[in-house]
Amino acid sequence: MAAVTEEKHPHLRARRIVDKIVLGGSDGVMEEVAATAGLNGVGADFRTILFAGLAFAIAGAISIFFSSYLSQRAELDSLKIDIDRERMEIETEPEEEKKELEELLKKEGYKQQEVDVIMARLVRNKEMWLRAQLTHELHLHVEELTSHPLARSASAGGAFLLFALVPLFPYLFSLGHLTTLLLSATLSILALFVLGATKVVGLSHLSWRGGLRSAAIGGLAAAVLYVVGRALSSVY
């Protein structure tokens, strides 16, 4: 028996869950640092900022959990409709579906001889034909039906809550408003850099450009809200 060789460059597992963690974490950091910077600029005391920030983090985590879950359920329902329609068309209009797939394969660069071999194999197995039709015509994958929207939604909500606490940490200490703001912004920018740099590809391959872009956006949001807060505090 031939030995099974280990993949030299393994693909990232649970890619969609990782995407949700990065999305939820980035949203949590950026929205929290912006909110706390605004309160800091107004001159709110640290106790108020901590309680308001914690309430915001919990509310945001719950919101992103349910919105993500509902969105994914709607996506899965739409996918099931598309699959059922394609299955029906293969049963009732096989020649039209066959011609559509042949044209798509040719556009992807397959020669006529290669297309003939592929189609001869697919028409003998309608489930394989269905998967090929979904992949090439609608860019959908049957495997998406086995995904777990609850797990991905929980990942997004949990990441939002966890990373939203990062900007709050400096407010636990008795420091000046400006010093605390700078520490909060620095920690937030570092968290955003890590999330942006590790998005999709994982810790083994850092995307410095993605990290810097994410950090810059978070820093800009904090600066804008702080300036707004200072302007409001001078009015009232």
SS3 for the chain, per residue?
CCCCCCCCCCCCCCHHHHHHHHHHHHHHHHHHHHHHHHHHHHCCCHHHHHHHHHHHHHHHHHHHHHHHHHHHHHHHHHHHHHHHHHHHHHHHCHHHHHHHHHHHHHHCCCCHHHHHHHHHHHCCCHHHHHHHHHHHHHCCCHHHHHCCHHHHHHHHHHHHHHHHCCCCHHHHCCCCHHHHHHHHHHHHHHHHHHHHHCCCCCCCCCCHHHHHHHHHHHHHHHHHHHHHHHHHHHHC
pLDDT digits (tens, 9 = 90+) for 10-25: 444 556 677 788 888 8
pLDDT band at 165 (very low <50, low <70, confident <90, very high): very high
| Tens digit of each residue's pLDDT (9 = 90 or more) over 94-139 | 888 888 888 888 888 889 888 888 888 888 888 888 888 888 877 7
What integer pLDDT is reported at residue 66 of this predicted model? Answer: 92
Domain ranges of the chain: 15-231
The per-residue pLDDT of the chain, averaged, comes to 79
pLDDT tens digits along 62-106? 999 999 888 888 888 888 888 888 889 888 888 888 888 888 888
Higher per-residue pLDDT: 218 or 170: 170
Structure confidence at residue 201 (pLDDT): 47
Position 2 scores a pLDDT of 45
The pTM score is 0.71
